[in-house]
């Protein structure tokens, strides 16, 4: 089987594609893969690191603000989209895939459109509870639409018959991870209650500032903390902590790191996770059954992270703090409330586990088999 994957911009679009690739390889060892992304997105780093053949096209997303600058930008975006279709056609002709799978991000638009027009079986995968603009555009052209949240099933008007609720391939990939002593790599006690706090693959400025303000209070708690800043923010946060707290910032109970390579393994080793509510993060948390405090990013299309978070909150699997309500007080109080209530954490963990769709890759492979 020859599979062309496309998706990019953030880890939330890339990791599901790579998880699906891994499962396809397990079931069909002779499979070949090509990944099409952009030079500017995270895929340009992550995909080659995973030894997947990688090609790039130039494409940009649309600006929503339609002033003169926005209009000129969007005209260029249309030009790049048309150019991207032409580039994609060449790659598709050279690789001759049996199926094309798009996992989100604007790079999918020209690739999946070109594939569909070339009569190559094409699937798009929507990770969020609110369907993205690119996937809504592609819905009429592709063969199947896989979704991760039941709330998204009805959002592809006129194309509902194509929609299948599969869940996220990343969930199946991490489902079997067990608790290990991985916290030792941070010089922490793997047997002590631990809170993991992070703001997504690129970090989150508001969460970072709240952590800085809360550092002293967190250091006084009976639990440990691992804080992930995002690589671009790490040195600045260390500098701010040193300036604000001096030598007192060097505590045995808090570790501040730029990035964690094996995040799901750390998820499985901690008591709770505090962070954004991107679709891939939630897929991992529910697959592993981890209680969480979610702080949705307000800077995303149609506020979809809030809707993602509410899908867990309404099932008793998570708590939520809106960024507009985030403060040192609310941050520390909510963490402490959950860390002091072991029964509540166990209840949330059980509810989280019930939400996990742990056969998403296999279901997507069945869809591929049906259309190829």
Q: Binding site, residues?
A: 10-12, 128, 201, 260, 305
Looking only at the bridges linking them, the beta strands covering 99-102 and 54-56 are: unpaired
- Following CA atoms 272, 278, 279, 285 in sequence, which dihedral angle do they give, to the nearest 10 degrees? -10
Identify the CA nearest to 99 among candidates 121, 117, 126, 115: 121
- Residue with token string 């990343």: 170
Q: Strands across the sheet with 122-126, in order?
A: 54-56, 32-37, 2-6, 99-102, 122-126, 144-147, 163-165
Binding-site sequence positions for UDP-N-acetyl-alpha-D-glucosamine: 10-12, 128, 201, 260, 305
Q: What burial letters (b/e) apply to 270-290, b meaning 16+ CB within 10 Å?
A: bbbbbbbbbbbbbbbbbbbbb
Q: Give the distance between the most distant pair of CA atoms in the chain.
A: 64
Q: Which residue intervals of 98-162 are DSSP H helices?
A: 108-117, 133-138
How does DSSP classify residue 63?
P
**Could you tell me if 125 and 146 are in contact, meaning their C-beta atoms sit under 8 angstroms apart?**
yes
Token pair of 95 as six digits: 């690789």
CA–CA separation, 95 and 97 (whole Å): 6
Which residues, in sequence order, are CB contacts of 333 under 8 Å at separation 6+? none
Output DSSP code: residue 186: G
């Amino acid at each position: 089987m020859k599979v062309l994957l496309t998706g990019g911009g953030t880890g939330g679009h890339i990791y599901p594609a790579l998880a699906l690739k891994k499962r396809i390889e397990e079931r069909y060892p002779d499979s070949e893969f090509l990944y099409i992304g952009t030079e500017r997105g995270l895929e340009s780093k992550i995909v080659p690191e995973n030894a997947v053949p990688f090609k790039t096209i130039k494409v940009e997303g649309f600006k929503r603000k339609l002033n003169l600058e926005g209009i000129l930008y969007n005209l260029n975006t249309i030009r790049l989209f048309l150019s991207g279709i032409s580039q994609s056609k060449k790659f598709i002709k050279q690789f001759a895939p049996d199926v094309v799978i798009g996992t989100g991000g604007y790079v999918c638009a020209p690739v999946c459109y070109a594939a569909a027009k070339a009569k190559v079986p094409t699937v798009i995968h929507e990770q969020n509870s609110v369907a993205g603009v690119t996937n809504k555009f592609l819905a009429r052209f592709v063969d199947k639409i896989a979704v991760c949240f039941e709330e998204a099933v009805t959002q592809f008007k006129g194309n509902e018959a194509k929609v299948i609720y599969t869940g996220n391939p990343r969930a199946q990939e991490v489902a079997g991870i067990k608790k290990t002593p991985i916290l030792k790599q941070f010089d922490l006690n793997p047997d002590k209650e631990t809170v993991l706090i992070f703001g997504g693959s690129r970090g989150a400025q508001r969460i970072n500032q709240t952590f800085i303000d809360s550092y002293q209070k967190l250091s006084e708690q009976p639990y440990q903390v691992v804080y992930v800043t995002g690589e671009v923010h790490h040195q600045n946060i260390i500098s701010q902590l040193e300036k604000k707290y001096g030598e007192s910032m060097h505590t045995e109970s808090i570790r501040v790191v730029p990035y964690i390579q094996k995040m799901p393994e750390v998820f499985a080793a901690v008591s709770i996770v505090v962070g954004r509510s991107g679709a891939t993060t939630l897929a991992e948390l529910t697959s592993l059954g981890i209680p969480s405090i979610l702080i949705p990013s307000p800077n995303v299309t149609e506020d979809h992270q809030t809707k993602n978070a509410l899908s867990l909150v309404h099932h008793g699997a998570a708590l939520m703090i809106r960024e507009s309500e985030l403060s040192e007080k609310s941050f520390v109080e909510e963490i402490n409330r959950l860390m002091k209530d072991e029964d509540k954490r166990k209840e949330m963990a059980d509810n989280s586990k019930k939400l996990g769709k742990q056969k998403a890759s296999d279901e997507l492979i069945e869809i591929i088999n049906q259309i190829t």
